[in-house]
């Protein structure tokens, strides 16, 4: 299926770390022109160089998404470079405290997690919406997580921030639908990769006295499809919601988790 994304302008936050790199490559492969917004631009430049070498028009802009003025600068960079902003994919975020109960989590830790995972997306959406409203076209994809759909003990701040991001998504979807702008939410489950293998599985392996591979399989058995999500699975969901193939979908939660949120 042709997603018809060629020459669309996509602004992607968190474009080079974790699943962000797969999302970025996915949009490049579909022929999009890219604005890559990241706090650590040195981490982005190798990927940007790779994409430019393959013929992708690409700009990198240093952006701390918790700062509204940085988000505004990223939007201006897109308008100056390409004249429009068609797509915003909010990948950037953080896990916050892990393994602490709600009582153990400090107010500063809680506030910092919400400021990044909710406030950062809010700031970026506000920055791009004037251009999208003027052109009467836009696709906004917020990458959240299934812990924002089922909750998780020991991850209170993170879970709360992802639940809140769902509310931001739905409210903006209702407000800007009349301008032909879609706003949706992708909810990855556990995503295979270095952090999953080296941290999550390694911790479980040490605790249970099993191998890392056995720990990964233990997680897979918890899902209806009996396999772990890959970063490309997440990228494909973002591409779908950023395309006109999904033109009649807005305000939706799309789990990409092998069925975990449904169980």
**Would you name the residues annotated as active-site residues?**
158
Contact 243, 4 (CB under 8 A): yes
Q: Tell me which H or E stretch contains 202.
A: helix 202-208
Q: State the Cα–Cα distance between residues 14 and 89, nearest whole angstrom.
A: 9
Q: How many CA atoms lie within 13 A of 190 on its CB side?
A: 22
DSSP labels, 232-253:
HHHHHHHHHHHSGGGTT--S-E
SS3 (DSSP) at 73? helix
Burial profile 151-171: b = 16 or more Cβ within 10 angstroms, e = fewer? eeeebbbbbbbbbbbbebbbe
């Amino acid at each position: 299926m042709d997603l018809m994304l060629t020459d669309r302008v996509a602004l992607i936050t968190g474009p080079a770390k974790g699943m962000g790199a797969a999302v970025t490559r996915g949009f490049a492969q579909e022929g999009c022109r890219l604005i890559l917004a990241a706090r650590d631009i040195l981490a982005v430049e190798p990927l940007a160089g790779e994409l430019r070498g393959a013929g992708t028009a690409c700009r990198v802009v240093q952006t701390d998404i918790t700062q509204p003025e940085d988000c505004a600068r990223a939007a201006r960079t897109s308008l100056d470079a390409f004249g429009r902003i068609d797509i915003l994919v909010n990948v950037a975020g953080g896990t916050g405290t892990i393994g602490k109960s709600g009582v153990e989590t400090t107010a500063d830790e809680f506030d910092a997690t919400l400021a990044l995972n909710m406030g950062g997306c809010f700031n970026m959406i506000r920055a791009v919406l004037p251009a999208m409203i003027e052109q009467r076209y836009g696709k906004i994809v917020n990458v959240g997580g299934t812990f924002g759909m089922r909750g998780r003990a020991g991850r209170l701040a993170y879970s709360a921030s992802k639940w809140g991001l769902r509310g931001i998504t739905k409210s903006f979807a209702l407000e800007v639908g009349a301008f032909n702008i879609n706003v949706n939410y992708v909810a990855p489950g556990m995503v295979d990769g270095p952090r999953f293998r080296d941290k999550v599985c390694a911790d479980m392996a040490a605790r249970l006295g099993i191998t890392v591979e056995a720990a990964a399989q233990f997680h897979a058995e918890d899902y209806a499809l009996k396999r772990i999500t890959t970063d490309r699975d997440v990228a494909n969901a973002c591409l779908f919601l950023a395309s006109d193939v999904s033109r009649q979908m807005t305000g939706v939660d799309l789990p990409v988790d092998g069925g975990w949120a449904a169980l």
